[in-house]
Amino acid sequence: MTTAKQYNQLFDTVIKKYHILDSVNQNFENPFPNKDLEHLLYRKSWIDTVQWHYEDIIRIPTIDPVEALKLKRKIDASNQDRTDMVEYIDSYFLQKYEAVTIHTDAKINSESPAWAIDRLSILALKIYHMNEEATRKEASDTHRNSCQIKLNILLEQREDLSTAIDDLIHDISEGKKYMKVYKQMKMYNDDSLNPMLYKK
């Protein structure tokens, strides 16, 4: 798996797989070996897909406050899992290209490959659900037409982002750009860094 087009195909597969049961409580099975990039991308996309639906559920106006709090905790945990997966994906690329000779005039990119791929994963979800709205039979023509316009923009955005990711990874493989990954230093989940936690 070497191109963003293949990443998109995998993300689409994961999203369709999720929607067979369409439940945030369904079991997760990863069909790829642990060390493969596909394994990481499949897991990443599943986390994003489940969280997408968590975010839908928590916005139900009549949701029970106790259940909403439980769901908020799940969203927090999911966000941490998402960040961890991004770091695992970046570690994959760091290891893959560690022997590349970096050009003296090489530049760093504004974001790492994995964070760009993270945006690609979210785009796949936006495209799937916008397509649902653009083709929803009971919706008005105005609604469907509006969603189709948005869908076209999302598809164009995915094409542009895919090209940018392919270019970035190619440049890294050629030593024209180099990776420098900063671990996410999230503070609000840390008992020693969040004053709302350590002051309690």
pTM reported for the whole predicted model = 0.91
How many CB atoms neighbour CB 189 within 10 A? 13
**Is 108 strand, coil or helix?**
strand
**Sign, CA torsion 154/14/25/83:** negative
Instruction: Give the pLDDT of residue 193.
Output: 67
Kindly report, residue by residue over 124-183, the tens digit of the pLDDT.
Answer: 999 999 999 999 999 999 999 999 999 999 999 999 999 999 999 999 999 999 998 877
Q: Distance (Å, rounded) from C-alpha 182 to C-alpha 83?
A: 12
| Segments making up each domain of the chain, as ranges | 4-192
Indicate whether 64 pLDDT > 80.
Answer: yes
Question: How sure is the predictor about 186, in pLDDT bands with cuts at 50, 70 and 90?
Answer: low
Q: Which of 61, 165, 65, 174 is nearest to 115 (CA)?
A: 165
Instruction: Give the pLDDT of residue 58.
Output: 97
